[in-house]
Amino acid sequence: MEQARLSGPGADWLAEHRVRLNERFERSRRRFPSLDADEVLARLEAALPAVAGAEPAAARLMDVVYDLVLLHAGRGAFARHPGLGVLLGETFAALRPTLLTAPTSLPGALSNAVENLGDVGEPWARALPGVVGTSADATGGGLDAATLLDAGAVLAWRLGEARLRERALDRARGLPVATVRAALALGDIDVPTVLARLSADAWNDPLESSDKAWRRVGVAGGFSGFGGPFDAPPRVLDGGEPHLFHVVSGGRFYRVDADRFGAHVRPEPDPGLGMREARKGHLLSGWMAPKGGWAEPDGTFHLPEGKLPVHEEVGLDTWTRVGHVIVAARQDSHELHVYATGPR
């Protein structure tokens, strides 16, 4: 492989280890025959200056970044996950002091996070330095790797990774207040109060007083032809939790983790739950009405506390209520609509 067009410590490191690095490139090309030398050079020119330096740990950090470039380029991951290029070329420069504290493990952990976050990976990589920078400012010293990853989890949750809700709330309690504010995009408010409200209910705005009026607070799912998870209109199973519910679509079962920040849908085994279907009112009058309430296909929900007409749910097929949350599925839609009141 040709020499990258670099100067400074990065160029010195490449020149000193040229033979060894070329051998690693050739091994990677045997593993990934499509590995392109020009792409590797371009990625190294962007990534190495961000981490290069004279510190003892910098050599190990450059070594790890070199291997990450080979791995991501060989798998075509840079094209599938644009956030990886941002991470190595921009984010690492801002996080370099912390990367030097854990050069072997932290770069790979951050790369894995970008890939696992999917569409959220690129905005996460761009926003991470601003969030973790508040921790360093608050503590007056260097930021350790564990704190960086905790702050990253809170940021990822706010950007839409609903699977991280419980972990993010747990980790947020140990972070500097300024970091939590930055990660959750909060103003100058009482952070413990907001975290307590989000722990009890992550559907309603924690900065507003929750009332008892039902309102639509979220949408999940979508047609697979447009990038969603469902091939057929989903049917809601009766059960779950306020931030976790279950559906079936096209004969497959799915778990849906969701809250005000986003939703994540993934296949699961049959959870063994029943189904609450919409029915015409005359069939469910008087003593025949289910104890927990019932709903009509025109979108009218008959709840223990009163009637709730929701005109946009005309064509209602199945629904469930868990506490202060209702999840509704229509016959003609691949989306799930979530309604909530204030926590009861």
167 and 220 together in one domain: no
Q: Are 248 and 237 in contact (CB under 8 A)?
A: yes
Residues of the chain with pLDDT > 70: what percent?
Answer: 91
176 and 279 together in one domain: no
CA angle centred on 185, ends 90 and 84, rounded to 5°: 25
pLDDT at 8: 73
- Domain extent at residue 72: 9-200
Run of H or E including 246: strand 244-249
Packed helices 165-172 and 145-158: angle between N→C axes, nearest 10 degrees: 130
Q: Using CB atoms within 10 A of its CB, is residue 224 exposed (0-12), middle (13-18) or buried (19+)?
A: middle
Is residue 207 in a domain?
no
24 and 111 together in one domain: yes
Q: Using CB atoms within 10 A of its CB, is residue 30 exposed (0-12), middle (13-18) or buried (19+)?
A: exposed
Tell me the residue length of the chain. 344
Q: Tell me the pLDDT tens digit for each residue of 23-42.
A: 999 999 999 999 999 999 99
Least confident segment among 6-20, 52-66, 240-254, 275-289: 275-289
Is residue 48 in a domain?
yes
Catalogue the long-range contacts made by 174-179 (C-beta closer than 8 Å, 24 or more residues apart).
174/150, 175/135, 175/147, 175/150, 175/151, 176/134, 176/135, 176/138, 176/139, 177/138, 178/134, 178/135, 178/137, 178/138, 179/131, 179/132, 179/134, 179/135, 179/138, 179/151, 179/154
Is residue 208 in a domain?
no
Domain end among 200, 223, 250: 200
Q: Tell me the pLDDT tens digit for each residue of 202-224.
A: 999 888 876 678 999 999 999 99
190 and 263 together in one domain: no
Is residue 2 in a domain?
no
Instruction: Give the global pTM.
Output: 0.89
71 and 102 together in one domain: yes
16 and 138 together in one domain: yes
Is residue 143 in a domain?
yes
75 and 104 together in one domain: yes
219 and 195 together in one domain: no
Is residue 36 in a domain?
yes
Q: How many domains does the chain have?
A: 2
For tokens 């350790």, name the residue. 144
107 and 183 together in one domain: yes
19 and 154 together in one domain: yes
